[in-house]
Structure 1
């Protein structure tokens, strides 16, 4: 894009010396082989020199990428001269036999990473001659011998221009074509004709096609610049977006460098410096990626982020690791690219709209601007009426966004630019201004669509200055595989989801939240709670507790009442309570509900917490919310709501069992007699723990298995209400049954998300498992269900050796080894009246549940239910256990021993030993 001076060029490659050495070799019989060896040595030495420079100056993206392009330039020139002089006879060459070498693509822009392709266009005269063919072939073979990855084309000038007119890719490649060597006059003639025959008059078409191409690319890459594993080249806010600005500017305004965009009024000098700073950083990151992976790699995956952060000399700070600081800086640059893109494209669109000729009846019609609160509104955009509008009253920096949300307007690019420039005017006086806070609260809880407006407000720095605590999480990532977005993007998406739920747009996925949002006493408290729930992340402590302290400070400033403030602070402090209870605890255990209700205390809190939990989970990323989580949260809400409504009045255990049996009999209809026949075989815990529909299935299954005398009976079916597959195993109970079933399920490629283990009074185990595939979808196809049955049967019959087979299965997330996940074991004797609850947190792997269950079996414990939750690379497995006599664990010494055994079973070292075995 811009001419970059490459310092100490001869330290990279000394072309004069190289040419002299080649000339000395030319007379030998094997000159070509020796020349190639000489060139290869020059290439390796040049790359080594540039790697050293990058290590010394790890952020010098422009200098290093230009250095790689310079290195290739010199090699191409030497090869061209050698071929014309020594390999291809040129004595009979006519004037028509002309050849120019053009660099295109990243090579043309002088932005080459270490393993970038070398894109070359061989431009010949009016026809392709034998001499031209020989030249191109000889050059290509030499470049291939050097190990260069060449992207090439050989075309006449007429063919080149014809293809450019019909192909956007070719048109773009030629747009940034750069002369390297050969016939300079031919290259210049081609440049003039390209501008005259391809560019002129086709500006709007090029803009339209380029933006469509960009939008399609963004969609492929996740359509957010805040995805936590970004593609630095093609992702939103990446290098390709910057290049697109340059291409559009060059095609429409004929600029030859990005600096000229300032002269055309498309960027201010400050914006141009931001453009270059972002580009320099992204190019440097790309170079480091290529060097670390030794290939053309543009994905900044978790396993590479640590290495690049270290190479770029990012250091750890309190509350933030080096890799989190590196990624935060990356996202700040991507955010800046997004801001520049919006301003630039709006300017271009406005320019073209002004030059478009009107015709027909409306040719003389001009739409008049209207005024809203002193702002000019025209063409669906709101604009500040003067240059000093925000200086006169900085509260307007908040007001304009509130008006835009309320009226459904976009903000004019010039006004966005002024807001960016004047955001520094937001000081303590503005933050404490009652009018400013009332406007912000109106925007945050706006009934139109606050999400995009808050995102604009964030991108120009107004949101971070008005709410400094939010500014601290701006572009902050969480280095794990669970969260898909940065903290600020996650929060803004959650606010958008809350608005969509309130408008009834997500009723199918969130029916309960869609009802509850209209029953809360303070809808604005709901929106403020979403804004603040992750506000204290990255501070080095419990972000829920620290966030509650922030809420107590901010809510009165926003204008919330004392009761609203207390509610928001409680919601922020407890925003993980509902999901932790639903996913990690046994909801059929009365103590679970009792403990949950004790912390919630009121129906208003419960309603708000259910809504906040839903949007928080869904805003984590695509696929994070599913019907199974919705089902668990719904069950918890219903039970807690009833408990709050009835107070301490509860139905007796006997009445509960009788009611459940009657409900199951009704479901079974003509087979209802099975309940009376087998009711006494199952204890009260079974009737209370299992949902009625599952009990009904169990009754039919158990009766059939006993009638046919099956020692082992396995039933698998898709269970739509839970978004999972139900696996029921009926077998003669024996020690180790649970861990063997778990192993068989895992070998079939399924993950267990919930398990309930029962043994009836005749010694038959009736175990129910809910399973999903590694992507959170149920097993539904006949072949998958049959594979589950076969695998479980093989595991229980000892036809396979589970331990080595499970150890060899691939991790559900192949990149999980990039994270430090230290296993942790927690014992809780207060969470249940009957059981000891053991929670194990460890790196997720297919063999984990089997290994933990086997360890519990070997420790002499009986597992009654298991609840399995995955948070990206981390698994949290919870077991409700007793000893062999049916009692809780009481001995501290025994707990310490079991903890050590579980930690060993969950450790990476154990996994490595098993894999080696």
Structure 2
């Protein structure tokens, strides 16, 4: 390994190659032992280098270093297996050895699988390959790779990827390790054929796969113990963006996605930074646990935050600052995936272009709904003196028409959040509009989610904005504070719509609640003190007064919201200590809690 901490972490490939070349004359068992020991030694050296230079060791440098060592060992074992069973001198023109998947992307973490394709040209594998391939597999396993290998003629592979899009995904990420011009050309031809024949079906399959992954991950991408590989916004999503780029534009380079017209080079640079961050964390996890470990557990988060130089600042712990930055990067990747899908659909890559005029509905002089999504009607909007006020009113209008804010409009809003001034925040007429949004039980969550995703909710309600991507480092919560709160808002919608069968009597009780807007406001604000650290209930209750003043609440209304925020942990505390179905407890609790 290099000793210069400012340089890229790469093994000494010349030395590795020299040591491996010496195995050609060794008996099989000795050669395997040398390869295995060399791999173990180099992985340990890469891990030690990463730990010694955490401040400047990029995740990409680490995985590329591991990939480079793996390449040299694979080439050595291929040469040994093929020579033993009579491969001709020009065998690389008959057979190509290709890395697939993460190995193909040069993104091998310490415990990653080694995915390999041995592809014969034409329609039939030569006899010598049929004999040599099992020996190659045995050698790879003996060296302690976790191998996912297959051997196919090019013609058979072309048929398979036409039907099996899991295999097609891996092949799209191929990289030749040992291959002459003919196998490389045939590989390029079959991938070009896939793009010509199956692009629509393939993209639809990938979106179905994405939907399943998101369903398995749960309702939020901000889980407290995320899976760095499969959770929304994590490594699988970056890989999906590259796959989209290849299918639509013929290049696996993320920069190709600028062809979707809305996504910028800066957006994609941030995706690359997020990918590097995730690869870095995943390598650290694998090295620390000495096995494949993709779930980022709380104990690992604490340890890694300290190791990476994060510190306690103000009333927040190092791990809370670290994870807030992590979630922000993951959120960006997630939003780029959604925006890419939106553009693919709009440009006809997911089927025929929709005749948008048929679904076009004018919401106001400034905004139009198309296919259930709100778009800006004219480019002069952002220069209007009351544009900030119009945005808040648009949200209420969108909610009342059951339409969502388009991703394109969300991006534009995010770029113009300075329009939400103190004057806008203190406008009592807008306060009433915001309360109307909160009063519309049954459809509160969708509009608040859109407002939050583009930063509008946090700009209008800074107390909530402070909670963005803020983790709750305890055993009671699964999500970040903002997502926990939005999830709670969705429960109001579910109760209003009768979708909470586990709450007997609620169908009668909830309609009788006269001020659903104040109930929802109390829920929206109940954890707003958490960004200041411990003692969040008292801190949050104190902050109610300022919010109430801006929204134009009466003293009685303010007292009710204060009551909700100040007492919100009482029932949860009681539920952990008492049987909430016991009548005597309920009478005692109701007397203690009283009302307002």
TM over 0.5: yes
1:389: Cα distance to partner? Answer: 2.3
Check if 1:77 corresponds to 2:75.
Answer: yes
Specify the alignment match of 2:433 in structure 1.
439
Name structure 1 gaps, 5 residues minimum: 1-5, 359-363, 586-627, 646-917
Specify the alignment match of 1:656 in structure 2.
none
- Which of 181, 203, 216 is the equivalent residue of 1:184? 181
Specify the alignment match of 2:206 in structure 1.
210
Q: Is the 8 A contact 1:65 1:283 kept in 2?
A: yes
- Which of 372, 375, 383 is the equivalent residue of 1:380? 372
SS at 1:174's partner residue? Answer: helix
- In structure 2, relative to structure 1, the CA distance for the partners of 1:281 and 1:563 (3 Å cut) is same
Name structure 2 gaps, 5 residues minimum: none
SS at 2:221's partner residue? Answer: coil
Aligned partners of 1:94 and 1:316: how far apart in 2? 61
Q: Is the 8 A contact 2:228 2:294 kept in 1?
A: yes
- Which one has the bigger helix percentage? 2
Q: Is the 8 A contact 2:204 2:350 kept in 1?
A: no
Specify the alignment match of 1:410 in structure 2.
404
56-65 vs 470-479, which moves further: 56-65
Q: Is the 8 A contact 1:204 1:352 kept in 2?
A: no
Specify the alignment match of 1:240 in structure 2.
236
Q: Is the 8 A contact 1:98 1:186 kept in 2?
A: yes
- Which of 143, 148, 166 is the equivalent residue of 1:146? 143
- In structure 2, relative to structure 1, the CA distance for the partners of 1:478 and 1:569 (3 Å cut) is same
1:527: Cα distance to partner? Answer: 1.0
- Which of 457, 460, 463 is the equivalent residue of 2:454? 460
1:160: Cα distance to partner? Answer: 0.7
1:14: Cα distance to partner? Answer: 1.8
Q: How is 1:423-572 mapped onto 2 (pairs within 5 angstroms)?
A: 423-506=417-500, 508-572=501-565
SS at 2:206's partner residue? Answer: helix
1:159-215 deviations in Å (ceiling 9; x for gaps):
11111111120111111111121223212222222212x221422211221111122
Specify the alignment match of 1:881 in structure 2.
none
Aligned partners of 1:341 and 1:357: how far apart in 2? 20
How many matched pairs? 584
- In structure 2, relative to structure 1, the CA distance for the partners of 1:478 and 1:8 (3 Å cut) is closer
Q: Is the 8 A contact 1:100 1:184 kept in 2?
A: no
Q: How is 1:89-488 mapped onto 2 (pairs within 5 angstroms)?
A: 89-91=86-88, 98-125=94-121, 126-196=123-193, 198-265=194-261, 267-352=263-348, 356=352, 366-367=357-358, 369-374=360-365, 375-392=367-384, 393-488=387-482
Q: Is the 8 A contact 1:391 1:422 kept in 2?
A: no
1:466-490 deviations in Å (ceiling 9; x for gaps):
2222122212222222212211111
Query: Whose Rg is larger?
Result: 1
SS at 2:512's partner residue? Answer: coil
Aligned partners of 1:341 and 1:62: how far apart in 2? 21
Aligned partners of 2:31 and 2:253: how far apart in 1? 36
- In structure 2, relative to structure 1, the CA distance for the partners of 1:580 and 1:480 (3 Å cut) is closer
Aligned partners of 1:535 and 1:213: how far apart in 2? 36
- In structure 2, relative to structure 1, the CA distance for the partners of 1:576 and 1:9 (3 Å cut) is closer
1:368: Cα distance to partner? Answer: 6.1
Check if 1:48 corresponds to 2:41.
Answer: no
Specify the alignment match of 1:87 in structure 2.
84
1:568: Cα distance to partner? Answer: 0.7
Aligned partners of 1:387 and 1:314: how far apart in 2? 42
- In structure 2, relative to structure 1, the CA distance for the partners of 1:19 and 1:127 (3 Å cut) is same
Aligned partners of 2:240 and 2:470: how far apart in 1? 26
Aligned partners of 1:213 and 1:480: how far apart in 2? 32
- In structure 2, relative to structure 1, the CA distance for the partners of 1:319 and 1:516 (3 Å cut) is farther
1:337-374 deviations in Å (ceiling 9; x for gaps):
2222221111111112796279xxxxx99516331122
- In structure 2, relative to structure 1, the CA distance for the partners of 1:636 and 1:90 (3 Å cut) is closer
- In structure 2, relative to structure 1, the CA distance for the partners of 1:427 and 1:134 (3 Å cut) is farther
- In structure 2, relative to structure 1, the CA distance for the partners of 1:78 and 1:433 (3 Å cut) is farther
Aligned partners of 1:7 and 1:142: how far apart in 2? 36
Aligned partners of 2:125 and 2:568: how far apart in 1? 71
- In structure 2, relative to structure 1, the CA distance for the partners of 1:402 and 1:53 (3 Å cut) is farther
- In structure 2, relative to structure 1, the CA distance for the partners of 1:321 and 1:356 (3 Å cut) is same
1:64-110 deviations in Å (ceiling 9; x for gaps):
222222222232233334555x534345x788971101111111112
Aligned partners of 1:316 and 1:203: how far apart in 2? 49
SS at 2:98's partner residue? Answer: strand
268-277 vs 440-449, which moves further: 440-449
- Which of 540, 544, 567 is the equivalent residue of 1:574? 567
1:259-297 deviations in Å (ceiling 9; x for gaps):
221244252123212212222211111111111111111
Aligned partners of 1:384 and 1:238: how far apart in 2? 31
- In structure 2, relative to structure 1, the CA distance for the partners of 1:7 and 1:543 (3 Å cut) is closer
Q: Is the 8 A contact 2:95 2:118 kept in 1?
A: yes
Q: TM-score, normalised by structure 2?
A: 0.90
Q: Is the 8 A contact 1:123 1:187 kept in 2?
A: no
Q: Is the 8 A contact 1:11 1:46 kept in 2?
A: no
- In structure 2, relative to structure 1, the CA distance for the partners of 1:264 and 1:637 (3 Å cut) is same
1:495-550 deviations in Å (ceiling 9; x for gaps):
121232234332x3223444333334422211110011111114234111110111
